Amino acid sequence: MAALLRLENVSKRFGGIVALNQVNMEIQYGEFVGIVGPNGSGKTTLFNVINGVYFPDEGRVLFEDRDISRLPTHRRASIGLGRTFQIPRPFASATVRENVAVGAMFGSRGKETNVNESMLVAESIIERMGLSRHRDKKAELLTPVEKKLMEIARALAMKPKLLLMDEAMAGMHPGEIDRLVELLGGVAAEEEVAIVAMVEHVMRAVVGMAQKIIVLHQGEKICDAPAQEALNDPKVIECYLGYTPEEAS
């Protein structure tokens, strides 16, 4: 079977700054991938190119073998691309249930789901995420962690094939991270969602779950390997710490 998502020589420049330089990568169906890289390495730009916020200057983005390089963001959602943000962006005046239902109404199952059915979908996902008692609360009244969980619920309600998660675990304590990792692992396996999680700080989450890790540095992909291997790669260590182990000794 072909890859779910494939990037072919994708470049994106802002003026003279090369944010992404000839990036190639593949994500398989149901795979869990961590995107790692220091500040300014191009992770967010990569997400924005996959998601359609930006169009690539060069190269192609293929989703299920279809070229989506120039497809607007909302159309990408309807073919199965979901996303959560680093700082949650709830629809503040709507209730938790309404927020999540919006995902079901307009995501990949949007065409065949009416308002009432979307509410039912939302309820089952909310329960799964452990947010049932906040169901009728306005989203703006949730705590930051609850907002994050709600945003993940909202993205899952879209029934995505690929879910881009932007620093989903930042700001959570280890217990919560473990719980979320387990939950996501379960959902991903069951619904066959491929998850691409962007990580800057919380390595714990990635190492525990990722089948592979892609490391970005100054807009280039410097490593694409299974988790342990990637974290021991000298080039990766260099870009995080500034020198190679050999130089240090």
Partner 1 sequence: MMRTLDKYAAIFPVLVVYAVLFLLGLNMSGMWQLMATLLFYCALGQAFNIFLGMTGYVDFGYVAFVGMGTYGMAVTITSLAGTGLGGLTIIAGYIMALAFSGLLSLAVGAVALRLRGAYFAIATIGVNEGLRFLIEGTNLWGGSGGIIFTRQLNDILGKDASSALATFWADVLVLIIAVLAAITTIVYMRSKIGYALTALREDEDAAKVMGINVTMFKILAFMTSACFAGLLGATAWALKTPYVFPPEVFEIHYTIEAIIIVMLGGAGTLLGPVAGGLIYGIGKYVLSIVLPGFQLLIFAPLIIIIIVAFPDGVVGGIRNKFGHTALGRFIL
Note the residues at the interface with partner 1 (CB under 8 A). Answer: 51, 53, 72-75, 77-78, 82-83, 85, 89-94, 98, 101-103, 105-108, 110, 114-115, 136, 154, 158
Instruction: Please name the amino acid found at residue 206.
Output: V
> What does the alpha-carbon distance between residue 163 and residue 155 come to, in Å, rounded to a whole number?
7
* Least gap, CB of 208 to partner 1 (angstroms): 26
Which bin fits 226, alpha (ψ -120 to 50), beta or left (φ > 0)? beta
Comparing CB distances to partner 1, the nearer of 93 and 132 is: 93
Burial class (CB in 10 A: 0-12, 13-18, 19+), 96: buried
Burial class (CB in 10 A: 0-12, 13-18, 19+), 224: middle
SS (H, E, C) 145-196: HHHHHHHHHHHHHCCCCEEEEECCCCCCCHHHHHHHHHHHHHHHHHHCCEEE
* Least gap, CB of 70 to partner 1 (angstroms): 15
Retrieve residue 105's tokens: 């109404």
> What does the alpha-carbon distance between residue 82 and residue 61 come to, in Å, rounded to a whole number?
15
* Least gap, CB of 225 to partner 1 (angstroms): 29
Comparing CB distances to partner 1, the nearer of 32 and 47 is: 47
* Least gap, CB of 140 to partner 1 (angstroms): 9
Partners of 42 in beta bridges: none
Instruction: Please name the amino acid found at residue 29.
Output: Y
- How far, in Å, are 12, 60, 73 from residue 22 at the CA level? 9, 10, 22
Q: Give the total residue count for the chain.
A: 249
